Amino acid sequence: MAARIGSLAKAGVLNFQRKPAEISASVLRLIQHEKQVNDKVAAQKSPTFANTIAPLARLENNDGAESAIITFLQNVSTDKEVRDASSDAELKLRSFRMESLMREDVYSSVKAVMENKHDLSSLNPEDRELVKKMEVQYRRNGLGLSAEKRKKLGEIKRRLIELGVEFSRNINEKDGVILFTRQELDGLPDNYFCDRTTKVENGVEKYVVTTKYPDIVPVMQMAMSGDTRKRMMAVSEARCPENIGLLQEAIKLRLEAARLLGYQTHAEFMLEENMAKGPDHVMKFEDDLRKKLDPLATSEIKEIESLKMKDMEVAGKLYKGLFSWDYRYYANMVKERKHNVSEEEVKQYFPVDKVMRGVLDICQGVLGLRFLKVSNPSVWHNDVEMYEVWEASEDTFVGHFYLDLYPRNGKYNHACVNSIRTGYERDDGSREYPAAVMLANFPKATSSTPALLTHDDVLTLLHEFGHIFHLLCTKTRWSYFGLDSVQMDFIEAPSQMLENWGWEPSVLRKFATHHKTGELIPEKLVERLVSAKNEGAGLFNLRQLFFGLFDMAIHNTKDANIDVRTLYHTLREQITRFANDNQDACGAATFGHMMGGYDAGYYGYLFAKVFSADMYESRFVKDGIDNSHTGLDYRNVVLRPGGSRDAMISLKQFLGREPTSTAFLKSIGLADSRST
């Protein structure tokens, strides 16, 4: 993986160096340009694909990257003024585009093209799908309603945009901080304290611990003190209390909007375009899975309960039950004791640089790609790395991706991939190439050790690369059909499937090397790690089900008068089996998915696992995980179409049949359950 000066001439140069005034000016230019195009489309006397649909689609082709950059900077810039300007830009652009999608005059032209069956039948499949998707998009934004109802819908949508931007800004800007003594953090390894900031409080030196992932996850997994874990969790869930009110308002507005459009619930509206097609399918999927997981979780609870009882007995304390802050700690303890697997031992073999090489080697083998690191790229922070992507077997450029892997103040708090530019066909027939950004919050290097990843971090890296390569390998005429247009209950499948390589012993033994000695990870350690794969799978997947069922409870309802805090706590106790102990804080305040595009869609994480497990087991395991023919087939059949066709078409073509849940149930430790 050689480093070199990037061939940026292969793709339009992306400029991330923006001042607040430049961002504001860019928003005005984009809005002005988009209005001009919309006005011209609305004025067409004889609407056709060429004079109506194509100009609207070219807006996304030509303006998409600029729009993405100026709204992306709110998640990464170290300058709060830039972040604020970026948030404001998102608010203005989304509001304007919402209003554009509610223009009756523009819709009239789009609808005329849709109703011209002769001309529609003469289009190629992608162009025909574009017409259909556009018409549906306008209709789902209120075209067809009376002027009065459309006005009300516009007011609701504007407010929902404001709520979403404010909710996300609060999460990004408000990191929780708490001070602990060394004794209160007993159980944490010595390297956790290396270079950690300390403060003196009442004459006692204490360590500063934040709610960023590299700080909070080790505390919840390894801190022996239940009180420490309880306080840590409380700080994390209490850091954005105002978000509860924002979410509750959004729930009411979403239901009101759905009713205006003729739907009974917001979930019914959202799921219409997904693979599930409606709430009934989702609820059946989640309820059936819960019934299968409950017996497995019951046996896991007994193991955890016995461990905590012993701890309480040794400490001379009364056992009062299992609480939400006990889950990670005792689940980790079970794994260590039953399988002799220590996260601390394992991560010594996962220095970031070696893992990165290993992951890119996997992607090269599976997808037929090669990677070149760009020297001295123009980016938004010194931590950021940039890569070129090329076809492995020919001199054909594919695109770029950027990696921003470590936490800092004001940065997005979780892991995700942002689509900065979707590839498309220019008017002259040449291509503009895609660009993606991975944001993560992995532990940084310290003065004594390089940046080391846990095995869970390695899986996260593989997962996010799955999104990156889905975006980069999509090859359509219109950027309209990029990653963001893929059905929400399939979009996680390619990223989840790539995680499987992180459990393959032969793969891990190729790149997992000790950061000090260079020794390959021992076979016995890999065996123990893999044997622990489904340890705690019942409770882990019930936790995922909880998030999905909470999502459906607030969005598949005809009564939006919901006490979010009480509902969240009640469902968490009922489904995950761990008590809240009257905690006043609420995790829903930082449940970013609910205001970040996954509303009525969180079920998709488990739903998509059915497809990812089936694809992996039925094709890659069967044909060989390094079978380049299967990888190319996967790339062309599943990834390449993007959102230009229903994902079920791609699945059936790749599998040669309807997908089943057999491999999924096996992958989560339910091998004897009946498939569906």
Closest CA to 322 of 335, 312, 313: 312
Closest CA to 666 of 587, 593, 594, 610: 610
User: CA-to-CA distance for 325 and 475, rounded, in angstroms?
Assistant: 45
The secondary structure of the chain in percent helix, strand, coil, rounded to multiples of 5, reads: 60, 10, 30
**Is 126 in contact with 478 (CB distance < 8 Å)?**
yes
H/E element, 399: strand 397-404
**Is 580 in contact with 323 (CB distance < 8 Å)?**
yes
Closest CA to 501 of 339, 366, 345: 366
H/E element, 397: strand 397-404
43 burial via Cβ count (<10 Å: 0-12, 13-18, 19+): exposed
Q: Catalytic: 464?
A: yes
Using only the alpha carbons of the chain, give its radius of gyration: 25
- The DSSP 8-state label assigned to residue 143 in this structure reads B
386 burial via Cβ count (<10 Å: 0-12, 13-18, 19+): buried
Q: For the chain, give the longest Cα–Cα distance.
A: 84
Would strands 198-201 and 416-421 be described as parallel, antiparallel, or unpaired? unpaired
DSSP β-bridge partners for residue 205:
200
DSSP β-bridge partners for residue 387:
373, 401
E strands, 409-524, are: 416-421, 424-425, 431-432, 435-439
* Among 464, 492, 499, 535, the one annotated catalytic: 464
H/E element, 178: strand 177-180
Q: Which two tokens stand for residue 339?
A: 């399988």
User: CA-to-CA distance for 617 and 606, rounded, in angstroms?
Assistant: 16
Q: Which two tokens stand for residue 600?
A: 């009525």
Q: Which two tokens stand for residue 380?
A: 């938004």
Among all residues, which ones are annotated catalytic? Answer: 464
